[in-house]
């Protein structure tokens, strides 16, 4: 059963990745917003923001990485919507393949595309002066956190892709997801915010994830942030996966 699922998912993943190869502009488009945010905040607002860090790009990069993921996952919902409208899912159901492998192929495609986008953004950050003394294990931990975050958000967009009635609706979730880092510790310390805004910022998932990644980059203790980040990511992933599979079964029933 598992062998069959892996085989089906691999074949369908190749199909989805071929779409990315034919349309590399999707990755370029994903990178434009976070890079623009970095340029704007570092070279325009950076001098006026007090974060306690000598290099502002070091402080804000974790939040920009999350914005990159939030921007990129919208294409998963869009591609799913197009597949549903084209009738390809119905044709897949007539074949002896694992049902969940169809969705997992889209999710893994999102993961690959987002990892490429993240590498591009980090390279631009390095050009802008980002530096980290983090070791290999810390970088692997950052990569693991970003993979988990990407999977969680991708399964959320799977739900919208299966439920939307228009292409715009399929990718609509990316906008509020991209906005969350701006109301967190990603760009300014939360203690500079007004009371209600600060309370929201300190208790939403992005702040815990940003603080964890920032701590790993700066080789500081991540404290309880890492457990909060893992709890948020795993919780969103499990709930989103359950709802996505329910929505999928209803669509193909």
The CA–CA distances, whole Å, from 59 to 68, 131, 132, 146 equal 16, 10, 11, 17
Q: Are 80 and 171 in contact (CB under 8 A)?
A: no
The string of pLDDT tens digits covering residues 16-51 is 777 676 666 677 777 888 899 889 888 887 666 776
Sign of dihedral through CA atoms 181, 182, 187, 192? negative
CA distance linking residue 236 with residue 158, whole number of Å: 13
pTM score: 0.89
CA distance linking residue 14 with residue 11, whole number of Å: 5
Nearest-10 Cα torsion for 122, 127, 133, 134: 10
CA distance linking residue 143 with residue 250, whole number of Å: 34
The pLDDT of residue 23: 67
The string of pLDDT tens digits covering residues 91-103 is 666 665 666 677 8
Nearest-10 Cα torsion for 145, 147, 152, 155: 180
Q: Are 66 and 185 in contact (CB under 8 A)?
A: no
- Identify the CA nearest to 205 among candidates 120, 137, 148, 141: 148
Higher pLDDT, 74 or 231: 231
What is the residue-averaged pLDDT of the chain?
83
The pLDDT of residue 73: 86
């Amino acid at each position: 059963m598992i062998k069959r699922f892996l085989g089906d998912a691999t074949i369908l993943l190749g199909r989805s990745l071929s779409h990315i190869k034919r349309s590399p502009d999707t990755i370029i488009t994903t990178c434009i917003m976070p890079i623009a945010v970095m340029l704007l905040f570092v070279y325009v607002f950076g001098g006026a923001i007090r974060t306690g860090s000598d290099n502002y790009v070091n402080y804000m990069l974790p939040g920009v990485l999350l914005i990159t993921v939030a921007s990129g996952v919208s294409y998963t919902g869009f591609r799913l919507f197009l597949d549903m409208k084209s009738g390809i899912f119905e044709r897949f159901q007539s074949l002896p393949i694992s049902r969940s492998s169809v969705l997992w192929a889209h999710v893994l495609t999102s993961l690959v595309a987002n990892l490429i986008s993240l590498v591009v953004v980090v390279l631009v950050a390095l050009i802008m002066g980002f530096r980290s003394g983090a070791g290999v294990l810390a970088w692997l931990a950052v990569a693991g956190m970003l993979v988990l975050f990407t999977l969680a958000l991708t399964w959320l967009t799977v739900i919208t892709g299966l439920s939307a009635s228009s292409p715009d609706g399929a990718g609509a979730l990316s906008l509020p997801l991209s906005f969350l880092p701006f109301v967190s510790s990603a760009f300014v310390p939360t203690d500079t915010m007004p009371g209600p805004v600060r309370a929201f910022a300190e208790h939403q998932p992005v702040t815990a994830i940003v603080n964890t990644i920032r701590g790993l980059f700066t080789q500081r203790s991540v404290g309880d942030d890492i457990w909060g980040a893992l709890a948020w990511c795993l919780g969103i992933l499990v709930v989103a996966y359950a709802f996505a599979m329910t929505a999928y079964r209803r669509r193909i029933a």
